[in-house]
Every structure is written in C-alpha cells, then in structure tokens.
C-alpha cells in the first residue's frame, strides 16, 4: 500500500493534475466567501506560477483579448475578478505530456467557469509547466475559444 501511495504522490501526471485543480479552486469565487478569504486564497496562487509567468487569451463575447504578465499581475487580476463576481472554475478533459526528463510539461484541458446555475463558459486551455525545486510551476497559460 505504501508503494502505491508513494508512486501516486511522485508521479508527474498526478502532481500536475493536483497543481492545476488546486489553482482552479484557488481562482474560484464561491458565493458567501468573505473578502479576506478571497484575498488569502488568491495570494496562494503565487505558489503555482513562475515569476515571469503569463496568461493570454484571444477574447470573445465574454471577455476582450488580453495578457497578464508576471506572477504579481496575475494574482492581482484574479483577485479583482473574484471581488466582482461569484463563480467556480473547473478543469476537465486534462491531457498531460511530460518532457525533458520530467522537468517540463504541457497540459491541455477544458476550462469551465460556472456562474450560478445556468451560466457556464468554456475555453480550451494549454499550460506549460516546469519543475523547480520539486514543485511544478506554470510558466504560461494560453486560452482559445471553443467553437460552438
């Protein structure tokens, strides 16, 4: 049993999946969450982005095109979004490709953002990650619209 747990915890695919799912949870803004809790959870996102990470998206009917560069700007923009709306972020259809002797990876997924019961937005996402001192860090997140 101990070998199974050790393998699961040290398996790069499982580590990356846990990283991305945790990031989605930290980036969510559940109903009833206090502004202090939102700030504390958002600040924890620091742990999952490299210093020079960036997020970019082409824009669509929901949000205009944009780019956030640097860990600090990403965290501040996520906090601003959390303070203006209530929503849940989910990662689905995750496919991970490990590269360079398990030191780099690419993860492709569907990002779902649910606001209330009847409103859901979805984007295709691609994350590039590096392993730094035993932890997977996101260096780049790029999103594109899902064709309807």
How does pLDDT run across 71-116, given as a tens digit for each residue? 999 999 999 999 999 999 999 999 999 997 889 999 999 999 999 8
Q: Report the pLDDT averaged over residues 121-128.
A: 94
> How would residue 60 be classed by pLDDT, with cut points 50, 70 and 90?
confident
CA 81 to each of CA 2, 7, 11: distance values in angstroms, whole numbers, following the listed order = 41, 37, 33
Q: Report the pLDDT averaged over residues 3-22.
A: 79
Name the pTM for this structure.
0.88
Q: Report the pLDDT averaged over residues 56-66.
A: 81
Residue 64 token pair: 């205009």
Query: Given a cut of 80, is residue 2 above it in pLDDT?
Result: no
Torsion angle, alpha carbons of 91, 97, 100, 104, to 10:
-10
**Neighbour count for residue 6 (Cβ, 10 Å):** 10
Please tell me the predicted confidence (pLDDT) of residue 4: 52
């Amino acid at each position: 049993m101990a070998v199974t747990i050790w393998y699961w915890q040290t398996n790069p695919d499982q580590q990356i999946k846990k990283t991305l799912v945790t990031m989605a949870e930290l980036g969510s803004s559940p109903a009833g969450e206090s502004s202090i809790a939102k700030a504390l959870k958002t600040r924890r996102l620091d742990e999952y982005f490299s210093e020079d990470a960036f997020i970019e998206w082409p824009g669509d009917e929901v949000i205009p095109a944009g780019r956030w560069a640097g860990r600090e700007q990403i965290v501040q923009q996520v906090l601003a979004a959390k303070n203006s709306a209530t929503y849940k972020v989910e990662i689905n259809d995750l496919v991970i490709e490990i590269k360079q002797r398990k030191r780099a990876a690419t993860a492709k997924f569907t990002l779902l953002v649910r606001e209330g019961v009847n409103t859901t937005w979805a984007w295709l996402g691609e994350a590039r990650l590096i392993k730094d001192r035993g932890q997977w860090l996101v260096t780049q997140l790029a999103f594109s619209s899902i064709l309807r």
